[in-house]
């Protein structure tokens, strides 16, 4: 009813669709991994890494997850993201940096626990 709420409503719908798509991709990457041949092991490792990163993104706080989706899945530039979220481009940059740092730390933590005996 109010046009100013349309962008927020549309953003929520896009976020939910992107989350559903990421979850579906994660499930697809896990299905049938036993059937992979040794020749595909390098590709399999890359797929596992992508699945882990997607899983980490899904566990981020909504503010961080949204900005990652808009930038990397939606391929939006900082200006468009800033406009959509009603924040400055500097805030977009800061949020993206914090989100990437969080993803990096979580990935390193998982890799270090997997390499333990």
* pLDDT tens figures, 2-55: 656 656 666 666 666 676 666 666 555 554 444 445 544 545 555 677 888 888
Q: What backbone torsions phi and psi does residue 2 show, to the nearest 5 degrees?
A: -105, 125
Q: Are 61 and 69 in contact (CB under 8 A)?
A: no
Reduced to 3 states (helix: H, G, I; strand: E, B; else coil), residue 74 is coil
Phi, psi of 86 (to 5 degrees): 70, 35
What pLDDT, in 10s, does the model give residues 77-91?
999 889 888 899 999
pTM for the full predicted model: 0.61
Question: Tens digit of pLDDT for each residue in 60-83?
Answer: 998 899 898 888 888 889 998 898
Rg (Cα) of the chain, in Å, rounded? 17
CA-CA distance, 76 to 69, in Å (whole number)? 9
Structural domains of the chain, with CATH:
3-30+41-114 (1.10.10.10)
């Amino acid at each position: 009813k109010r046009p100013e709420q349309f962008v927020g409503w549309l953003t929520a719908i896009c976020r939910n669709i992107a989350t559903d798509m990421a979850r579906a991709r994660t499930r697809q990457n896990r299905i049938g991994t036993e059937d992979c041949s040794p020749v595909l092991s390098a590709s399999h490792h890359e797929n596992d890494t992508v699945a882990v990163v997607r899983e980490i993104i899904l566990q981020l706080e909504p503010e961080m997850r949204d900005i990652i989706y808009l930038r990397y899945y939606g391929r939006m530039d900082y200006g468009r993201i800033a406009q959509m979220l009603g924040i400055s481009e500097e805030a977009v940059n800061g949020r993206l940096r914090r989100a990437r740092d969080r993803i990096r730390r979580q990935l390193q933590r998982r890799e270090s626990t997997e390499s333990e005996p």
